[in-house]
Structure formats: C-alpha cells, structure tokens
DNA sequence: TTTATATACATAATTTTGTTATGTATATAA
DNA sequence: TTATATACATAACAAAATTATGTATATAAA
C-alpha cells in the first residue's frame, strides 16, 4: 500500500465523511472503499489509517464496537453526535480548500 | 500568517503553477497572489514558502535573479525548462487527487 | 519622532502527519 | 505449504508543515 503525498491533512476528513455515508465501517473496509471510489488513486496505508482512527476516537468523534466475523476481529467505527458536527465543519473547510486550490490551478499560463 | 492544514503536499504544485502563469515572481509576491486568488483562504507562511522555493531551485525546477527594488532585495524565480515539464506532471497529479477527493466528499450521507 | 505596518528575505526548533517496516493472526485459493 | 486477502496494531523514520525568531528597508500614522 503506497499513498499520495497530497493526502496529508485530508485523511481525517475522508474518514469522517465515509462514516457519514455509512452507519458504521471498520478499518479495512475504509481502505477498500477509498480505493474503490478513487479508482485506485488513493490508497490508505495502515500506518496512517489506524493511528488516525484512534485519534478520532480519543477526540470523541468516533465510537467503536468489536465483533468477531469469520474468526477474525473487526473493530467497527461509528460517528458520535460530536463527530456528526465535526463532519459538517470539516467538509466545509475541505470544500473551500478544494475550490481555492482549483482556482489556483486554473490560472492561465503566461504566453511566451 | 496562518495556514490551512490541508495545504500539506500541494505547496510545490501551487508555486510551480504560479510560475507557469507568470514569467517570474518573487517570494512575497507569491504569498500575495495566493492570498488574492484564494480570497484569503490560503495564506502561505514564510517558514514553508522559502524552504520550498530553495528546494525547487536545488532540484533544478527554478532559477533565480536578484534585483534591488526600492532599496530592498527581491529574489525573482523563473521556471527552468525542466521545471516546465514538472508543472505539467504535478498539475496532472494534483487534478487527479482533487477529483478523487471530490468524489469521496460527494458520497451521499446515510439515511438514519 | 517613534511606532506600527508593509515589504522582503531567511533559518532554527518543533510539531504534525504521513511512509516504511514489522508484528500477530485467521481464512482461503493455488 | 505457500501466497494472497483479510484484519488489527505499533515503532522507527521522513517529509513538510507551523511557530518563533532574526535582519533590514520604506512608509504611514500617532
């Protein structure tokens, strides 16, 4: 699993958004969903994903339940109420950033 | 000057793109242009900008000329030929990332 | 006139946030 | 029995920011 340096700063937002789009998800499922939606362009590394999930939980944005499925432990994450508000705010920030960055990248090249 | 954590990873691309949009620019001018185009949303810190410019120069993407204007030194940066190719490639990457991120952020919220 | 703000560059210390590597463990297909 | 997929986790390291600090000139405000 290798990632994109551009990912920096957006991982938490991606996680929160996915958990807004689906009631509950577990870590591995998140990596697969991101891979699917980005058509392979964004691959989350476990070294980034799990610490990020733990931090979001420690911050009170996510809560967890563990289940054994097919003999393997799965840790399901779900948004807390606090997390629900955070999604809204993070999405607004991320959307503004995307728009501003897009404006910069759309500047016309100098004629030379 | 305070920045956006989302900036991470995109600074080099922004600099290269600006220098594609205008023949030559100096550091301070870059901070002002980014501020203007992003309507204040993206504020480059000097601690990030100058090291990034130095790195791009060391990598052969930019070349510099110093001029004294109004009693103050200005260091003008310009794309090298190598830098011109790098812009194209970085822009492609950044655009792909923006599109993929946008897809993720557009996922429909779960009904609950 | 001295103070604050804007212009203009730079770097060091620190923090954040990734990558890479490694580890444990089960299920399944080759 | 070997490789791949599933599933979690953490430690060592690196990249890339932030924050703080420094130098210096020009200009407007108090």
**What would the pLDDT profile of A49-93 be if each residue is shown by its tens digit?**
999 999 999 999 999 999 999 999 999 999 999 999 999 999 999
- The answer to the question of residue B22 being in a domain is yes
Domain containing B98 — which CATH number? Answer: 1.10.10.10
Q: Are A50 and A28 in contact (CB under 8 A)?
A: no
Tell me: the pLDDT tens digits for B32-57? Answer: 999 999 999 999 999 999 999 999 99
Identify how many contiguous H helices and E strands chain B contains and give both numbers. Answer: 4, 3
Provide the pLDDT for residue B6: 61
Separation CA B110–CA B68 (nearest Å): 59
Q: Which residues of A touch B13 (CB under 8 A)?
A: 105
- The answer to the question of residue B112 being in a domain is no
Q: Which domain holds residue B94?
A: 5-102
- The answer to the question of residue B109 being in a domain is no
- The answer to the question of residue A111 being in a domain is no
Residue A97 CB lies within 7 Å of the nucleic strand D: no
- The answer to the question of residue A109 being in a domain is no
List strand C contacts in B 27-56 (CB < 7 A).
27-29, 32, 46-47, 50-51, 53-54
> How many domains does the structure of chain B reveal?
1
């Amino acid at each position: 699993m290798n990632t994109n340096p551009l990912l920096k700063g957006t991982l938490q937002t991606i996680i929160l958004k996915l958990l807004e789009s689906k009631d509950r998800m577990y870590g591995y499922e998140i990596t697969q969903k991101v891979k699917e939606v980005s058509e392979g362009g964004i691959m989350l590394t476990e070294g980034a994903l799990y610490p990020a999930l733990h931090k979001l939980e420690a911050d009170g944005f996510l809560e967890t339940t563990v289940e054994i499925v097919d003999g393997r432990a799965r840790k399901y994450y779900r948004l807390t109420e606090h997390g629900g508000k955070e999604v809204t705010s993070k999405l607004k920030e991320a959307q503004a950033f995307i728009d501003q960055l897009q404006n910069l990248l759309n500047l016309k090249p100098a004629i030379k």
